[in-house]
Amino acid sequence: MLNLLLPLSAVLGGGGIGFWIAERYRARTEELTLCLHLLSRIHTLLTVERLPLAALFKRLADSGEFSRLPFVEETARQLSSCPEFPTVFRRTVEASSSKLRSEDQKLLLTLADLLGAYDIDTQERGMESLRILLEEKREEAQQNQFTNGRLSRSLGILGGIALAILLV
């Protein structure tokens, strides 16, 4: 019985590591999709309702649909006491515990220099450019999730089986 426990643990451990790595790919894709939705909502609230940035982020945070993007709620909270949007947004995005890569965050940080700094038309063009770039990143992340996620799961399980064979 004890002789089977160690190899079984190796297989389960290898599989667990593979699934954990695959989950990281999925989480990045999900966050990029949510960032695209956030950008769309910002565009709507900015152009249709013409909300000031503090009110805009408060509305986004209160809606609850962006609760998995912690920087949204934190930006809303900090804007209530510090009206300097670029500084607040940069600080909250950089400090958030996100699954986004640094290159994804850099794209997102362009909002800090865009929102509230230009007229509505320029902000709309900038957000459209950002949407296109984020969409490309999301497509890349989906491809990585599909190929590397599957590969990670398979290699994790196979690695665990190989270790189990060595242990037996």
pLDDT tens digits along 81-91: 888 999 999 99
**Residue count (the chain):** 168
Is residue 68's pLDDT more than 70?
A: yes
| 103 pLDDT above the threshold of 70 | yes
Angle between the N-to-C axes of helices 2-47 and 53-63, in degrees from 0 to 180, rounded to the nearest 10: 140
CA distance 93 to 70: 8
57: pLDDT strictly greater than 70: yes
Helix (H, G, I), strand (E, B) or coil at 65: coil
What is the model's pLDDT at position 1?
60
CA–CA distance from 50 to each of 46, 80, 108, 162 (Å)? 5, 18, 21, 60
Residue 55 has pLDDT above 70, yes or no: yes
Q: Could you tell me the pLDDT band of residue 144, with boundaries at 50, 70 and 90?
A: confident
**Would the pLDDT of 152 be above 70?**
yes
Reported pTM:
0.80
Encode pLDDT of 116-135 as tens digits. 888 989 999 999 999 999 99
Percent of the chain exceeding pLDDT 90 equals 46
pLDDT mean over 63-71: 89
Q: In which band, very low, low, confident or very high, does the pLDDT at 2 lie, cut at 50, 70 and 90?
A: low
Q: What is the pLDDT of residue 4?
A: 74
Q: For residues 166 and 35, give the distance between their C-alpha atoms in angstroms, rounded to a whole number.
A: 45
